Each structure stands twice: as C-alpha cells, then as structure tokens.
Amino acid sequence: MELSVIFILSNTLLLLSSSAFAKTASPPSLSPTPAPAPAPDFVNLTQLLTVAGPFHTFLNYLESTKVIETFQNQANNTEEGITIFVPKDQAFTDLKKPSLSKLTSDQIKQVTLFHALPHFYSLADFKNLSETGSTPTFAGGDYTLNFTDDSGTVHISSGWSITKVTSAVHSTDPVAIYQVDKVLLPEAIFGTDIPPVPAPAPTPDIAPAADSPTQQSSDSRSSSPSSSHDFSSSYKIMSYGILINLALATFGVMLIL
C-alpha cells in the first residue's frame, strides 16, 4: 500500500515538472518586423531643367559655379527639401543694366544661390510667407526675398527685381521649381541705389485737324456763285445806265439840229 502511494506521488511530481519545463522551454512568440519605408525617388535637377526649359542660361550658371551640387544634395539628402526660382533665357537677354558680366565669380555664385530657398514650399505656402517678412535664401546673410500673394499669384521682390511666379515646373515634395520672368538681383551686391522704374510715356494730345487746302478751296467754290451773281447784277445795272444816258444824249442832239 505504501509503495503504491509512493509510486503515485512520484508520477505526479514527474508530470508537474515536465509541464513546467515545457512552459519554460517553449520559444517566445515574435511580433512581425515592419517592412522598411521605400526610399524616395532621386530627383535629378539637371534633367528637370533641361527638359522643362528654356532654362539653359541659368543651368549654365548652376554648373559653372557648382551650385548644382549644393542644390542636388539639399533635394535628395535632407528632410527640408528645396525651392528654386528659375528665370527663363529671355530674362537674361533682357537684363541690360546692371549686367552680370562685370561680376566676380564669387558674386555670380551668390546670385545663383540667391535663387533658391532651403525648404520646400508649395504655392499655397507663399500666402503665409507673405506675412512673415523677409525670407532667407541659400546665399545667407542679407540675401533675402520678400513675397506677396495676390489672389493666388505669387510676387517676389529682391529690391532690384520685382517679378512673379509664372508657372510651376515641378512641385512635389521635397523639390519645388518655379519659373519667373526676371533675374533676381540682390541688394547685397548691387547696392540700394535702385534706379526708379520709368513711368509710362504720356499719351500725346490730339490737336484738332487744321483746315485743309482742299476744304478751303471747296469753301471758296461754295461761296463763289453768290459773289459772281452779285457782281454780274451790278454790271448789268451799270450797263443799262450807260445806254440810257447815251440814248438821252443822242435825242437831245437831234432836237437841237
């Protein structure tokens, strides 16, 4: 009897220990590892500006000053993104005074950097920028731009240049490229002695047309019939008077004879 009890207790203890070991030995449940976020598409600024053109002049400045590398790194390797204002080729052709040809290489680089903001801005964001005052550019320091939003049209003032955004070349985060119709000229290089914008030429007063010779001739002709009529009537009266006098004189002579 005692052996049976001991046997039963031994089996029970063995079963309990086996169960506890199984629980401790069971592998822990693992939560699924989230898939890595897809890498953003690489934005090739050179290709964008080449295809969208005509921005050949501005692209030449970007490449000659190596500013394209700065912009490219900002576009693809930062979370801030970039906003670039690109003048058309015609804008550089129209730029007569002041001229970029007299600038040093460092000044040309600053002018090129002046055309970009170190942050991505959609067109809708410029309404808020217009309320914050001056906005810093990639050129840093005093190289700032002022924006105003006029019913959805974005106007840009650099001091020397007043222009507007005419179209969106590319506007997908993290890169915004906007076309402008003038080159942005900074006061930090060209000074504050900004030439006044010429006033529009006044409209010349239209003087009344002088009487033409033809009209005078026609007026003369229109008045000549009455004058001729009056002259001929007077001539007839004088002729009749002379004839009457001659007749009376002849009659008197006959009476005397």
Segment holding 172, helix H or strand E: strand 162-172
Confidence of residue 197 (pLDDT cuts 50, 70, 90): low
* Higher local confidence (pLDDT), 218 or 129: 129
Measuring CA to CA, how many Å separate 255 from each of 6, 11, 247, 249, 252?
A: 210, 202, 13, 10, 5
Mean of the per-residue pLDDT values for the chain?
A: 78
Q: The tokens of 174 are what?
A: 């993290």
The 10 Å CB-count burial string (b at 16+, else e) for 31-57 is eeeeeeeeeeeebebeebbeeebebeb
Residue range 48-72, pLDDT digits in tens: 999 987 899 999 999 999 999 999 9
pLDDT of residue 246: 63
Q: pLDDT value at position 31?
A: 62
pLDDT at residue 149 tops 70:
yes
Beta bridge partners of 147: 156
Going by pLDDT thresholds of 50, 70 and 90, the confidence category of residue 86 is very high
Q: Which residues contact 76 (CB under 8 A, 6 or more apart)?
A: 40, 42, 43, 174
Mean pLDDT of 223-236: 50
Is pTM beyond 0.75? Reply is no
CA distance 43 to 84: 13
pLDDT of residue 160: 86
Per-residue pLDDT at 96: 83
Degrees, nearest 5: CA angle 8-11-15: 140
Cα distance between residue 36 and residue 78, in whole Å: 18
pLDDT at 224 (0 to 100): 47
Q: Is the pLDDT of residue 157 over 50?
A: yes
pLDDT for residue 239 is more than 70:
no
